Amino acid sequence: MDRRATAGDTPLTVADAASAWLGRGRGQHGEWVRSTRERYERIVRRHLDASADVDLPPIGTIALADLTVDDVADWSAANERTLAPTTAVIALIVLKAVCRFAVRRGGLADNPVLALEPGEKPHWSPGRVAALEGPALAKVLDHAGSYRPLFELLAFMGLRIGEALGLVWADVDLDAGLVSVHRQLSRYREHAKLKTKAGRRQVVLAPAMVRLLRAQWLQHPYKGADDFVFTTMTGRPLDYRRVGAAFRLAVARSGVRGDGRLSLHSLRHGYASLLIAEGLDVVFVSRQLGHADPGVMLSVYAHLFARAKHALAARSAIESGCAAMALSRS
């Protein structure tokens, strides 16, 4: 899309801007991973294209220069009524990006999405994910079958599932007790770059994890430096969906109930909880987890840091009280 507001005598529409934005994402912005790009294309095709089938006249047919905040509010409200909550949220995110692109290219004076009132935006919040640790974790692992080594690694290294599935043996240094995380496995079972630079890190291996990975390597038929650590019988990397299904089955068979939703991410939460309970500082825990900003991690796990701090102070106070009582009796 050039800086002109029209192409000949035909006004540029929201759909035109969305198409141009997608084209830019395919070229200059190669950082869109395949799954993200396909999600954006699907949103544009179904909800921003001129032929999109919605309750109101498609927003894609509106001339870009005529797009108002009310148009966006009506469209967003229709999406919230008819779409899944997550889809409605992502659709508005895409429209905001399209409008921002149009403003930069001179086709739109202001971004109307930014002027929406809070109540005019679709509402969705993910269910709380419970941490899986201790006896509950042990029960789930007992029902994990062949997936147990993978689930143990997630629980005691704090890797994201894509990071774990993307590991090859060259990333594992058993002698140094370190694993290098520098890419992930996409949902198409291809290596892809991490979402953030902070994700690139070296994760410390506990001795138990060194033993687990050494045993995995010894029994593994695919031991080459570029072979995946976790594979199918034919050496292909594991499929996300099968891993997720195996975890849900293990949880169901174990009878474990969490204080919130139990998912693969619960293993990562359990790892964070374990480090925090040991009194490790927020910066170290953040680096181990691959968070870009320790403040973000602190906001997620603030209650755990507070609990660990207060537990330490409580133990100290109780110990002092017990010592004073012992002295008074002597």
For the segment 6-37, what is each residue's pLDDT rounded down to a tens digit? 445 568 899 999 999 998 755 444 567 777 88
Sign, CA torsion 281/287/291/293: positive
Tokens for 283, please give them: 């910066």
Give the start-to-end residue ranges of the domains of the chain.
Answer: 6-120, 134-269
Residue 9 has a pLDDT of: 54
Q: What is the CATH number of domain 134-269?
A: 1.10.443.10
When pLDDT is averaged across residues 304-310 and rounded to a whole number, the result is 65
Fold classification of 6-120 is DNA polymerase; domain 1 (1.10.150)
pTM: 0.70
Tokens of 91: 């659709």
pLDDT band at 3 (very low <50, low <70, confident <90, very high): very low
Q: What is the DSSP string of 259-315?
A: SSB--THHHHHHHHHHHHHTT--HHHHHHHHT-S-HHHHHHHHHHHHHHHHHHHHHH
